[in-house]
Amino acid sequence: MKNPLKGKISITRPTFSDFSEAIRITITDDNAGIEFVEIGMTYSDFTKCITGQAYIPCEFETRGLANIGKTMERSKISAPMEDHSWKERDVVASACIAKELDILNTLVEGDEPKWISNDYFGSQDTFFRMDGVDMVRTGIHRWVES
């Protein structure tokens, strides 16, 4: 193999409400952190595969192919929170993080990839107070060449 990538394969047997029998195979790129292919097939077709028969029909979906072979870089970003009610907290947090992320991405040079926020505000350390100011924190990530 030329330039092999490291990854993980998972073979599962999902349960469906109609009791249909299926095998689900997923492949994940370790560095990119992306589950980039999902394959579905029947039990009998899977049995044919593992006993050596080739060219067995299957259905598959792909995701995130542009980032395969790259490395996911992770960081955190914090921003001051604007006044808000409890009900509006996540919407305001998302807007505050978006403003801060726009500023951060203006510092990205040339063809460097831009940062993307997770927009998940359910962690224990998401909302905090620093120097008397309400703050919000979330994870950010981007894919860089390995």
Task: Quote the CA–CA distance of 144 and 146 in Å, as a whole number.
Answer: 6
- State whether 36 and 102 are in the same domain: no
pLDDT reading at 16 higher than 80: no
16 and 82 assigned to the same domain: no
Task: Give yes or no for residue 19 having a pLDDT over 80.
Answer: no
Q: Which residue has the higher pLDDT, 18 or 61?
A: 61
Do 61 and 75 belong together in one domain?
no
Residue where a domain terminates, one of 67, 83, 116 = 67
22 located within any domain: yes
For all residues of the chain together, what is the average pLDDT?
A: 91
**DSSP code of residue 123:** S
Residue 43 included in any domain: yes
* pLDDT tier at 103, thresholds 50, 70, 90: very high
82 and 136 together in one domain: yes
Q: How many domains does the chain have?
A: 2
Task: Output the CA angle 33-36-41, nearest 5 degrees.
Answer: 135
1 in a structural domain: no
Is 58 found in the same domain as 12?
Answer: yes
At residue 146, the pLDDT reads 81
Nearest to 25 by CA among 68, 58, 1: 58
Residue numbers of the domain that contains 17: 7-67
Mean pLDDT value of segment 97-115: 91
Among 8, 12, 17, smallest CA distance to 46 is for 12
The predicted-structure confidence for 73-101, as pLDDT tens digits, reads as follows 999 999 998 777 778 888 889 999 999 99
pLDDT at 112: 87
Residue 59 pLDDT grade (very low, low, confident, very high; cuts 50, 70, 90): very high
Please state the rounded mean pLDDT for residues 14-32.
89
Domain C-terminal end among 50, 67, 84: 67
Q: In what order do the strands lie in the sheet with 34-41?
A: 7-12, 23-29, 34-41, 59-62
Instruction: With respect to residue 94, please indicate whether it lies within any of the assigned structural domains.
Output: yes
Is 54 found in the same domain as 13?
yes
- Which residues 6+ apart lie within 8 Å of 117 measured at CB? 77, 97, 98, 101, 138, 139, 140
DSSP string across 45-59: HHHHHHTT------E
